[in-house]
């Protein structure tokens, strides 16, 4: 994830970078929240998305 100025995104100054054969490093991510009852649906959705995306990339999510 990255935070970019809206002006950069709107101006199409972004360059797609691809590196074939590169294996991403394993990263440990922690997400803390008060629990399922207290988590707003948006927070729960982003946590579920990150877990699913990570599972596709590394095949190891706990």
13, part of any domain: no
24, part of any domain: no
What is the tens place of the pLDDT at every residue in 10-51?
A: 887 777 777 777 676 776 777 776 666 666 778 888 888 888
Phi, psi of 27 (to 5 degrees): -125, 140
Number of domains in the chain: 1
The contacts of residue 26 (CB under 8 Å, 6+ apart) are 58, 60
For residue 41, the enclosing domain spans 29-62
In Å, how far are 24, 25, 27, 29, 32 from 61, measured between CA atoms?
Answer: 15, 14, 11, 10, 16
Query: For tokens 């997400």, what's the residue?
Result: 31
What is the tens place of the pLDDT at every residue in 44-62?
A: 888 888 888 877 766 544 4
Q: Kindly report the CA angle at 33 between 39 and 51, in degrees rounded to 5?
A: 90
For residue 55, the model assigns a pLDDT of 76
């Amino acid at each position: 994830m990255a935070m970019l100025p809206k002006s950069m995104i709107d101006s199409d100054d972004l360059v797609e970078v691809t590196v074939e054969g590169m294996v991403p490093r394993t990263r440990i991510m922690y997400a803390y929240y008060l629990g399922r009852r207290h988590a707003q649906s948006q927070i729960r959705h982003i946590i579920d998305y990150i877990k699913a995306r990570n599972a596709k990339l590394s095949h190891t999510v706990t």
